[in-house]
A and B are shown apart, each in its own frame.
Chain A
Amino acid sequence: MQTTILSFGSIAEITGKSFNISDVSDVKSLKIKLFEIYPALKNKSFLISVDKKIAINETILHHSTVALLPPFSGG
């Protein structure tokens, strides 16, 4: 099953704005896979939302759209 990921801000500079990841069942397994594919993410602060709600490690992914949202600083 594919999970669609949307990245924002400085995270998109590492991953691109949109990509898919397959065979991840929850946020915890998604994080492991993300850090495997993009080691630079380990040093980044970002929140993960699943279907427009902030997620925790146990949040299940099922045809979900995930967003990786880092803090922005400029103003």
Chain B
Amino acid sequence: MQTSNSNRYIRQLILKGFGAAAQEKLTNSTILVVGAGGLGCPLLQYLTAAGIGTIGIADFDKVSLSNLHRQILYTANDIGANKAEKATAYLLNQNPEIKINTYSEKITAENANDIIMNYDIVIDATDTIESRLVINDACVHLNKPFILGAIHEYQGQVAVLNYSHNVKVKPINYRDVFPDLTAQAKLPNCEETGVLGVLCGIIGTMQANEAIKLITGIGKPLINQLLTYDSLTNEILIVDLL
């Protein structure tokens, strides 16, 4: 596969500060996306298009009619089908040059380590605190970066956790940020509070952008920072977590 010279990636290859070296890093990278829903759909499309070499897609859920306003990988014909499988089929058409591993089972404390160990970066696109804590804990155990994305009504959060450029600085993880959370904590999800699809697109795309920056070394990823975006006002607050 001639990734560095591929016409497919020419518009990003010619970017100042990007080039063939960055493309090669994307080709050699592996990313696990947990959740192929509102956040997962847009970020998967951009990671696929950008040429991430291997993408894992984990989602046990089935497509429903109420997903379609924001989960833009699916059509009405997909209702009832497993999301990870449908997303895989769509994305391999989008970019047949990449490899996709499909996990149609739920990520649990029992299987998380076995799956996550195969990837460089994990992107959290889940919608429950329970799932987020399982993924966080496995990332801490395996020392993997964890890119958080989450939504509450018109606002979204993004952070790059469990990663540090400096070996002397202990990476911060989700439990450090919210220490009094438990898996039983009842936090409202989109099913209860509602969500505009476009906000999922913005936050999911920001997560994909953070992954690309981490892999290629361009820019300044949100390492140990929590970004909060308000879609009603376009205000962004970035808080240092260390």
Contact = CB atoms under 8 A, between A and B. Distances in A.
Interface of A: 6, 8-10, 45-47, 49, 52-54, 67, 69-75
Interface string B145-168: 000011111011100000000000
A73 B181 CA distance: 12
Which of A46, A52, A74 neighbours the largest number of chain B CB atoms within 10 Å of its CB? A74
Interface of B: 35, 37-40, 124-129, 132, 149-153, 155-157, 177-178, 180-181, 185, 187-190, 193, 195, 200, 226, 228, 230, 237-242
B185 A75 contact: no
Which of A9, A47, A70 neighbours the largest number of chain B CB atoms within 10 Å of its CB? A9
B228 A74 contact: no
24 contacts: A10-B188, A45-B181, A49-B239, A52-B239, A54-B239, A54-B242, A67-B228, A67-B237, A67-B239, A69-B226, A69-B228, A70-B178, A71-B150, A71-B157, A71-B185, A72-B150, A72-B151, A73-B127, A73-B132, A74-B151, A75-B38, A75-B125, A75-B127, A75-B150
Which of B39, B128, B193 neighbours the largest number of chain A CB atoms within 10 Å of its CB? B193
A74 B150 contact: yes
Contacts of B124: 75
B151 A75 contact: yes
8 closest Cβ pairs, A-B complex: A73-B187, A72-B150, A74-B151, A74-B190, A72-B152, A75-B127, A9-B152, A49-B239
